[in-house]
């Protein structure tokens, strides 16, 4: 089934189709941080690969595209990544009642 990756700019909230470099670097991993620059507001964002949405249909040609600026090696701190995946907060940051806190 054809698919594509979709990125939403956190600054202007526009959606774009991600254009991956050819070839994708060998150090690419789901825990790699992907840096992209929004073509509308020019904001540079770095987010984990697993946070980029996979759309399971053929890409619509009217969707604007965004190029990947860089791909980092796998994040060496999986604790922060685990919190991002599960929604569990570590430590005491955040508002009360918004999630389970684990840690000192």
In this prediction, residues 11-25 reach a mean pLDDT of 85
- Please write the tens of the pLDDT for every residue from 62-86: 888 888 888 888 777 655 555 555 5
For the chain, give the percent of residues with pLDDT over 70: 70
Residue for token digits 């840096």?
35
Residue 26: alpha-carbon gap to chain centroid: 18
Specify the residue for token string 């690969």. Answer: 49
Among 39-43, 69-73, 86-90, name the most confident range.
Answer: 39-43
Tell me how far apart the 2 most distant CA atoms of the chain are, in Å.
50
Global pTM?
Answer: 0.61
- Mean pLDDT of the 72-101 span: 55
């Amino acid at each position: 089934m054809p698919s594509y990756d979709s990125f939403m700019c956190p600054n202007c909230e526009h959606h774009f189709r991600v254009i991956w470099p050819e070839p994708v670097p060998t150090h690419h991993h789901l825990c790699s941080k992907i840096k992209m620059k929004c073509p509308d507001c020019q904001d540079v964002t770095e987010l984990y690969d697993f946070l980029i949405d996979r759309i399971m249909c053929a890409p619509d040609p009217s969707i604007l595209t965004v190029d990947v600026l860089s791909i980092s090696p796998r994040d060496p701190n999986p604790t922060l990544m685990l919190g991002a995946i599960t929604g569990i907060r570590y430590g005491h940051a955040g508002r009360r009642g918004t999630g389970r806190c684990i840690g000192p």
